[in-house]
Every structure is written in C-alpha cells, then in structure tokens.
Amino acid sequence: MLLNEAVGAALPATTALVVADADAVLVDVLARLRGAAADEAIVVLIQPDFAAIDRAMLIAALGPLALELAPRRINAISLADGAASERVVAAARYLAFARSTTGQSLVVG
C-alpha cells in the first residue's frame, strides 16, 4: 500500500508502524504491537477495511497497552474512507513526536 509506505517513511527511526487492515487478525496485531522494535513510540494505522469489532477492541485496548508498553508510547490513527494521505502522514508525525501523548486514537478523514 502506498499510504502505509508514505507513513512509514515519514516516521523517525525510533518509531514503529503497525498496520491493521482487512488481512489482519486482532490477536496478530496485538502480538506485533508487543513485539515492535521501537525505542520511543508505536503508531498503529487502522485501515477502513479492518473489521469493525476488531477496530473497537483495538481502540479500547490502547490505554492498557500504553501502560504495558511504557515507557514506549503507543497511539493509533483510525482512517475513514477516503482519508487524504497528507493528513494521515501529518497525524502520524504528530503522534510520533508528541512525547506526552500515549494511549490515544485520532480519526483522520
């Protein structure tokens, strides 16, 4: 996916990108989050085609995951259909550099 690549390229080396899409299962996404090689932050990109119930459970789990993975920060971007790539990249960069923000989800359309 070009959007995933653009977001990944915009993030600093200390930030990991984890993508949740139609091909992903929630359990696997959680395993990737826990195993992410990130020094400072993890940004989760939740694609519009990720199952609705899995999306809700992943967003609900962000707070507990932030506690579990501390001092690394974890935040998510929940994409709406037709999300503009420049907005998604800007949100990902914001979350990567917002040192006091963890366990949060932004909706980008």
Q: Where are the domains of the chain?
A: 2-108
pLDDT tens, residue by residue, 25-40: 999 999 999 999 889 9
Question: What kind of fold does domain 2-108 have according to CATH?
Answer: Rossmann fold (3.40.50)
Instruction: Report the pLDDT value the prediction gives residue 37, as an integer from 0 to 100.
Output: 85
Percent of the chain at pLDDT exceeding 70: 99
pLDDT of residue 38: 83
pLDDT in tens, 55-93: 999 999 999 999 999 999 999 999 999 999 999 999 999
Residue 54 to residue 59: CA distance in whole angstroms? 9
Q: Is 28 helix (H, G, I), strand (E, B) or coil?
A: helix
Question: What share of the chain has pLDDT > 90, as a percent?
Answer: 94
Q: Say if residue 18's pLDDT is above 90.
A: yes
Q: Is the pLDDT of residue 20 over 90?
A: yes
Does residue 1 have a pLDDT over 80?
A: no
Contacts of 50 (CB under 8 A, 6+ apart): 20, 21, 22, 24, 58
Report the pLDDT value the prediction gives residue 43, as an integer from 0 to 100.
Answer: 97
Report residue 59 CA to chain centroid gap.
10
